[in-house]
Structure 1
Amino acid sequence: MSASTGVAGEDASSAVALVNTRHLQSGQPADLLADPARAAGWLAERGLLPRGTALPDPDTARLVALREAVRGLFAARAGQRVPAVDDVTLLNAALAAAPVVPALTWDEAGPRRREHTLAGAGPCTVAIARLARDALRVLTDPAGPEPAPCGAHGCVRWFLRTHAARQWCSDRCGDRVRAARHYARHRGTA
């Protein structure tokens, strides 16, 4: 689970964390990408952008658009339906904007895979491409955990389902649902 939010899968997937930048906080909509400064801070926290890098409005808009496309793709996968063509197109465009070339490096620790972004892409374009690549991995890895919406009433977060019985994004949501069930059972008998 993510140390900051407790949402299962955010530590393993930047794409899940991206989708969850739009959530409810105390019942009110919250957006961690609401303006360029907050968006740049979020990208820096995830190690996707150097700290102090300015994020122009168009790049912020592209990041928010990617978030909404990935959310739509996750929903399509969870609902076993075909996603909106625009969501697929947007993800593919983000992947193509900063192509990554895999390379082998070998040192005392042994062989490792490295990735190099082709020259000419700005830091935000690279960050968006990395997020898109992670979303692609989450959506297509047959052996990996599946993205799932939280089953708690009023929660709009997504998580990676590592166990078929898991229904909630965090212990907090699970506790809230169990407490509501307990209250309903005992209120019904009183």
Structure 2
Amino acid sequence: MEQWLALELASTIRHDGDGGVADDLATVRGTTDWIRKQGPLLAGHVPAEGLTADEDLRLGIIDLRQAVRALFARLVSPAPPSPADAHRLMPADRAMDRLNTAAAREPVAPQLYWPDGRAPAARLLTGEEDPYVRLVAALARAAIDFLSGPQSTRLRSCTAPRCVRYFVKSHGRQEWCKPSCGNRARAARHYRRRRTAADDGPAPS
């Protein structure tokens, strides 16, 4: 489940519902709110529910997000990337370096956990005490897991008007990230057809 943190991180840039783009990490308070909402996905890595961001952490997460979105853009190519940052994407080699450097800041070792009556599971043992370092490293590892995992082949950029999200395609015919985007895309397509027909004018008699 942790690997889906990468998609959650990329989705902190989103359509604001009013024709523009919103950034959930635009402020320290917004960053704190976003981190706490990721509590279930961060369980076992860092106590997100009690973590309060500062400006350095906010900027660190934004740096990581830039790398993730650049690599998402590379992954969906030759399809177009999200229009939110298509004009200023970080080069892929720099994005990979940023991701790997962030992940390496917290040395971890997998430990087997197998309580009676339950399935075995892995936990990560760390000696790192700084929760900010642990958080950014966990986000970076989640992105690495996502990009190198089987679900990465289903990553898409939503092409609906005004949408800037990346999403994982859940079935063969899915074209947009959610039904409301599909409705907007179909409406825009219908409008374009009507404009084209009007511009062409009536057929000559």
TM-score (norm 2): 0.77
Q: What percent identity do the matched residue pairs reach?
A: 33
Structure-1 residue corresponding to 2:30: 38
What CA distance in whole angstroms lies between the structure 1 residues aligned with 2:60 and 2:2? 23
- CA 1:181–1:143 in 2, change beyond 3 Å: closer, same or farther? closer
Q: What is the CA–CA distance in structure 2 between the aligned matches of 1:89 and 1:15, rounded to whole Å?
A: 16
Q: Which has the larger radius of gyration?
A: 2
- The answer to whether the aligner puts 1:28 opposite 2:20 as a matched pair is yes
Q: Which among 129, 139, 144 is matched to residue 137 of structure 2?
A: 129
8 Å CA contact 1:147, 1:160 repeated in 2: yes
Structure with higher strand content: 1
Q: Indicate which of 153, 159, 163 corresponds to 1:155.
A: 163
Q: Which structure: greater helix fraction?
A: 2
Question: Counterpart of 1:7?
Answer: none
Q: Does 1:92 align with 2:100?
A: yes
Task: Provide Cα deviations, 1:71-101, integer angstroms capped at 9, x if missing partner.
Answer: 0000011116xx5221001100111112332
Point out 4+ residue stretches in structure 1 off by more than 6 angstroms. none
The runs of 5 or more residues in structure 2 that have no matched partner are 79-90
Q: TM-score by structure 1 length?
A: 0.82
Other-structure match for 2:64: 66
Corresponding residue pairs, total: 180
2:184 and 2:117 map into 1 onto residues whose CA distance is 46
The one-letter amino acid paired with 2:58 is T
Paired residue secondary structure (2:58): helix
How far apart are the structure 1 equivalents of 2:193 and 2:2? 36
Q: Which runs of 5+ in 1 are unaligned?
A: 1-9
Determine if the alignment matches structure 1 residue 176 to structure 2 residue 167. Answer: no
> What is the Cα deviation at residue 144 of structure 1?
5.4
Task: Name the counterpart of 2:123.
Answer: 115
